[in-house]
């Protein structure tokens, strides 16, 4: 709850993915390996970002996120 309040104070919008790699137009939403759920507001953000040509992955733990990122074709 304290972290959520801190994010709100900083102006962070709910549902925006956790990480952004501007050079690749890549967004990463991190979830636990098990039990992590993408909320409806996160789903809306993911759909929006994909609709404007960005890539979005949902990483289920570090290793899963890493392997998905490694599988993405990087721009030249």
Domain limits, the chain: 14-70
pTM for the whole thing? 0.80
**Structurally, what CATH architecture does the domain formed by 14-70 represent?**
3-Layer(aba) Sandwich (3.40)
Q: List per-residue pLDDT tens for the chain, 76 residues long.
A: 666 676 677 777 889 999 999 999 999 999 999 988 999 999 999 999 999 999 999 999 999 999 999 998 766 6
Which residue in 36, 28, 33, 30 sits closest to 71, CA to CA? 28
Which residues does 42 contact at the CB level (< 8 Å), separation at least 6?
Answer: 15, 17, 29
pLDDT of residue 75: 61
CA dihedral 71, 23, 4, 45 (to 10 degrees): -70
């Amino acid at each position: 709850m304290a972290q959520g309040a801190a994010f709100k104070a900083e102006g962070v919008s709910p549902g925006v993915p956790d990480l952004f790699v501007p050079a690749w137009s890549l967004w990463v939403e991190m979830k636990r390996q098990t039990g992590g759920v993408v909320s409806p507001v996160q789903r809306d953000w993911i759909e929006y970002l994909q609709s404007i040509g960005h890539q979005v992955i949902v990483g289920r733990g570090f290793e899963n996120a890493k392997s998905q990122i490694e599988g993405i074709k990087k721009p030249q």
